[in-house]
Chain A
Amino acid sequence: MTMRLLSRAVLLTGLMALAACTNPDRFAGGAGGMNGGAGAGAGMGAGAAGTVSDPTSPVYFQQAIGDRVLFSVDQSSLTPEAQTTLRGQAEWLMTNADYTAVIEGHADEQGTREYNLALGARRANAVREFLVAQGVAPNRLRTVSYGKERPIEICSEEACYAKNRRAVTVIAAGGLTS
């Protein structure tokens, strides 16, 4: 049990470290970037692996397909637009079977901290279930919620809130299961 936990933790750490290079929502700066404690590099496409002209690259996934979907206030249902994006994500994941993904759920700041953690988990899971329904193997997808802890937009207006209510599919190399 202990060993199993440990191997998962190591694996996850590895995944997160990789993810730090492939997603603008990751917090690559500074020590411990894999655990979300360091700075949020919000620059689009910064450090993503590959090039956007290579359809098998994570940067293509991130920028050409779209790595995120947005949600309405206090909702976790997927809009038609979100479903279109996710169909593209599913197709890419099935074509590029060496990659796995961590789906990060987020909330805007209009909510209490712990409720927003649960809400972010609901959103991440809605994405996961959709991708699985499209045919992506469940063991390639993990979810994590950041609640309202990691906004990418910082104004206190709906324009910012709308972008913060998101689920981001972060591509990583390697298997997820242990």
Chain B
Amino acid sequence: MTQKILFIFCLLCIAISCGEDDNENQGYSPTPVNIAVPAIFSQLLPPPEIPINNPLTQEGVALGRALFYEKKLSADNTLACAGCHKPNQSFSDQRRYSIGIDGIAGFRNSMPIVNIAWNTNNKFNWDGSANSLEEQVLEPVINEIEMHNTWPNVVATLKTDPRYVTAFSNAFGTSTISQELVAKALAQFIRTLVSGNATFDNYLLGQATLTPQEEQGLAVFLDENRGDCFHCHGSPSNPLWTDNDFHNNGLDEDFTDLGLGDITGDPAQFGLFKSPSLRNLAYTAPYMHDGRFQTLDQVIDHYSEGLVFSPTIDPLMKTVAQGGVQLTPQDKAALKAFLLTLSDPSLASNPAYQNPN
């Protein structure tokens, strides 16, 4: 009991001694903001995961949005995040490999970055190399074949712009710009990139219908003997359309890119890559981690007849011995028609996602 009273007394003293600092931050009062959760997500998914140390605020999101479109993040002021994550391509890139500021191409296709707030396993990138969104956004800035900058240089550049000094002060209560705060702001904005207004979402809500062919495609998707897509790519119960996990989906017999295994060093994980969401496939070509397939037809053909064995192939590729699930032309066409119902045309035109600079 005495210890508790002493503890509270100390707390009281600390509160008194901190009074002056509180007054210094009187101008810092960011407005909390919530992610616009689509109706079907509210019904089926847990709430979005927001880190306790980086809550969303109007000021933070606005700053993150400005930074997302800010070319000054790159060494020569020519490339912003949005250069490889374009709103009209579900925040991915239609080029197989994005081109960095020095004209050098990367070696993986740009991942779409929507509905990231529901990435519950906290592994980001095709290879799971980042353990948080705040960590993920730091790397492209200093990647030699992407923005090829340094964080001290980015911070120094932003400090020369009075708009950013004010924006950081409004968002975080400090005019001291740092890479950590840049990352926090970018992460806040990216978490607001939500896609949940596809035809199929509205179908689930009873506000749209599917054609007979689209319904047939859904049946193929959910049939363990045909598409068997649901184990890795969600279902009408999981509108993320991904399991956010890592798999070897039978692309290669030998690996030139080890994916998750390159990060963990575990041979059991060589050639494993994150399952991308099937949302917005209409806008996210080319497909696979290396963008090898230009069309959705090629993707379907791969799972139907193109699977190859490798030591780490996922056991869910049950028909690899036959080369795939052997879909009929009718099933393929139906599956494609269904998959396209997962595309959300309102994403690209959402005014909250446009370039504010």
Do they bind each other? no
